[in-house]
Amino acid sequence: MSAVSPVPPGRPRATRPPRAVINDRLLSASDGPEGSTLLHEEVRHNLEHLWQYGGNRDGRTPGRRPDWIFIRPDFLLQQPGTDHAPGLARLVPARGLPLRLELFMLFDAQCRYNHAERVRVDRMFEEVEANAPIKSWQKVVLSDTNSDHREAGALRGRQVKEALRVLDKQHLVDIGPDKSRPGRRDLNRITLLSEASTPVSRPRYTVPKSGVYVSRHFFTSLWVFALTNTEIAVFLALSARRAAFPLAHTGGGVFVVQEHRRQFGLKDNTWRSARELHTYGLVDRVHDTERDTQTGRITDYGTRWKKHEVMPTRFTIIDSALEQPAVPTIDRVLNNPTPEDQWRQWFG
């Protein structure tokens, strides 16, 4: 048997579509024929409505309207004395919607429930009337269905179902039994478990009073669906560093060196997505003054390291940037960048 030829230098091993193609599919997705409301606009409207009214049946009574969505640190960081990776690290490699759906359900719960209240996942896969307070899964999730509009909603429903099964295997939701079919489970009977759940401990989810905080615009502007898994992971990791060191974040930025990276359990190549976050304007970064902004290399590294002069890149999260609609913003940055966008790419 002949040996497998190595991948030629410079040729990417992955077969994933280019970043611009991924966003183009989200930009053009629709559940109707040409000229219909675009899906990213419809989902954005529905999530804004969820934040405004919290699923109240009259659609007029204000909901909780949290400015910040809290995530328990155990979801992001490896805990001392445990041999299992945190939930974030377990979900990043999963294809499709699992990570996004997990984060969406935390947002959904915090828009609808107060501390210590029993959280219910009331969404169904069947179509509901236009003015229903709780929309179907297909109307609150943005994904690339890459299908004829007549099949788009059904395909997105299958993507959500597969994501729920992954979350069940990761001990983040519990899927109840199907009463009409013994031995089967009912995907309309979902119990949200704590994002800090483990194979040993699986408590039900309750709304936390504190934790790693993320602007509600991360959800209502659809960044949770527009960013890739690795981009989301790095954003949440930087958010965790900000929560732990707020004064450092305000004073010049937070950094993540190798010791910190191990705590998150993320692979080294995941951290490169910080470049994309900076390109989209979601974070500012301050390099070591001797670091080449294009290559990342540091002048006279060995000598400066011995003198303790090498400084890590520091990041500051720009919460106001999250207010911009994610899918059109990424499209502009990648396909029609403004002078400011170009400056960030070249010199930031």
Nearest residue to 330 via CA among 226, 224, 215: 226
Alpha helices in 125-211 (DSSP H): 149-169
Angle (nearest 5°) at CA 159 between 15 and 24: 50
Q: Is 101 helix (H, G, I), strand (E, B) or coil?
A: helix
Mean pLDDT of the region 238-260: 92
Distance between CA atoms of residues 236 and 346, nearest Å: 25
Nearest residue to 234 via CA among 198, 281, 268: 268
Model pLDDT, residue 242 = 97
Task: Note whether 126 and 136 are within 8 A (CB).
Answer: yes
Give the tokens for residue 39: 């899906």
Model pLDDT, residue 280 = 97
pLDDT bucket at 300, cuts 50 / 70 / 90: low
Model pLDDT, residue 55 = 80
Model pLDDT, residue 311 = 58
Please report the beta strands in 47-137, taking only residues with DSSP state E, as ranges in sequence order: 68-71
Nearest residue to 125 via CA among 139, 112, 106: 139
Nearest residue to 89 via CA among 270, 266, 273, 268: 266
Nearest residue to 125 via CA among 170, 156, 168: 156
Chain mean pLDDT for the chain: 86
Q: Which H or E element spans position 20?
A: helix 19-28
Distance between CA atoms of residues 97 and 225, nearest Å: 8
CB contact set of 4 (below 8 Å; sequence gap of 6+): none
| Other Cβ atoms within 10 Å of 142 Cβ, number | 25
Is 70 exceeded by the pLDDT of residue 125? yes
pLDDT digits over 142-194, tens only? 998 766 666 888 899 999 999 999 999 999 999 998 888 887 888 999 999 99
Which residues face 68 on adjacent strands?
215
CB contact set of 41 (below 8 Å; sequence gap of 6+): none
Distance between CA atoms of residues 30 and 49, nearest Å: 19
Phi–psi pair at 274, nearest 5 degrees: -60, -30
Please report the beta strands in 219-290, taking only residues with DSSP state E, as ranges in sequence order: 283-286
- Residues of the chain above pLDDT 70, percent: 86
Model pLDDT, residue 21 = 93
pLDDT bucket at 298, cuts 50 / 70 / 90: low
Mean pLDDT of the region 227-253: 96
Model pLDDT, residue 12 = 44
pTM: 0.88
Q: Is 219 helix (H, G, I), strand (E, B) or coil?
A: helix
Is 90 exceeded by the pLDDT of residue 34? no
Model pLDDT, residue 33 = 81
